[in-house]
Amino acid sequence: MITSGGDSPGMNAAVRGVVRAALGRGAEVFGFRHGWRGVISGDGFPMNSGSVSGIVDRGGTSLHTARCPEFREPKGREQAVQVLKEFEVDGLVVIGGDGSLTGARRLFEEFRFPVVGIPGSIDNDIAGTDYSIGFDTAVNTAMDAIDKIRDTAYSHDRVFVIEVMGRANGFIAVEVALASGAEAVLVPEVPFSLMDACNRLRKLRVEGKRSSLIIVAEGAARATDVADFIHRTTGFETRYLVLGHMQRGGSPTAFDRVLAVRLGAYAANRLLSGFMGEMVGVDGGKLVAHPLSYVLSTTKNIDPDRLLLVEAMTV
């Protein structure tokens, strides 16, 4: 098993789910540290029930993780398969986001190596599952921070522009905007007009709302540029905040822990039952599995109704 790519809260609970379910089926379990990098370098170690004691509530990943450019090259993948054979590994569980799952797909398609993926990413941009592990915690972490910002924005009659993670998509941004009662949300998938946002802020000010929150996904615009534009256009005192990697840390919510342990145990059971080249997920609360080829060639779109709802809440 590996955890790979950007860490996400709940990865540890998933690792625990994999280990305990596999041990329960009489399998031996190996963990490799630092994702694909640890597979290539042979940094693997046997895991027992005790290896995953006391980690269900811990953020980050006890297996460590890394982004691994070597694995994108055929030579790196050949080396990884060689190491997996030396360790007598019969199947691999990969916990990570789209980059890590793309690696898993290559291992399966190029070498027929048995792999099962688990979606672990705060971004929630992976098709084939309603939720990826860590999204719920990241949204709650951002919301808690923004609740504090609202206090000072209100006291000073200021506009605050808050940048959340999401390079290519606005899943976190939209969820956070709804949960925080933001006046506007900017996402990479949908064109937006900063002038429209300014006009909305002006209208709200006339109606007596003297402080406002704008949520920006990192892939849509830079918070500093948005804040600058708003200040220059409206004259309102404006500040910005980039929440950054704090969104990836912290103890997972109950939702993420339960999701992670369910997906972890399911992935181990599927692999041990001979299924491979797939990713496990949830659909309407039920456990599902889809081919990695489907998952990685399908785009998961943000819900347009949620986006409209942000605006509808500012009348």
Task: Give min distance, CB of 17 to ligand F6P, in A.
Answer: 21
Whole-number minimum distance, CB 67 to ligand F6P, in Å? 6
Q: Measured from the CB of residue 20, what is the shortest distance to ligand F6P in angstroms?
A: 27
Q: Are 118 and 93 in contact (CB under 8 A)?
A: yes
Q: Which residues contact residue 275 at a Cβ distance below 8 angstroms, ignoring those fewer than 6 apart?
A: 116, 289
With H, G, I as helix, E, B as strand and everything else as coil, classify residue 11.
helix
Between 71 and 113, name the residue whose CB sits nearer to ligand F6P: 71
Q: For residues 38 and 170, which CB has a smaller minimum distance to ligand F6P in the complex?
A: 170
Active-site choice (7, 123, 125, 256): 123
Q: Is the dihedral of CA 71, 6, 252, 127 positive or negative?
A: negative
Q: Is 256 noted as a catalytic residue in this protein?
A: no
Which CB atom, from 91 or from 120, has the smaller least distance to ligand F6P? 120
For the CB of residue 82, give the shortest distance to ligand F6P in the complex, in Å: 27
* 34 neighbors 101 (Cβ within 8 angstroms): no
Q: How far apart are CA 201 and CA 183, in angstroms?
A: 8
Residue 281: other Cβ atoms inside 10 A: 24
- For residues 67 and 239, which CB has a smaller minimum distance to ligand F6P in the complex? 67
What's the CA gap between 308 and 240, in Å, rounded? 24
Q: Which two tokens stand for residue 63?
A: 């297996």
Task: Please report, as ranges, the residues that interact with ligand F6P according to CB under 6 A.
Answer: 6, 67, 97, 121-123, 165-167, 218, 248
* Cβ atoms of 307 and 175 closer than 8 Å: no
Catalytic residues: 123
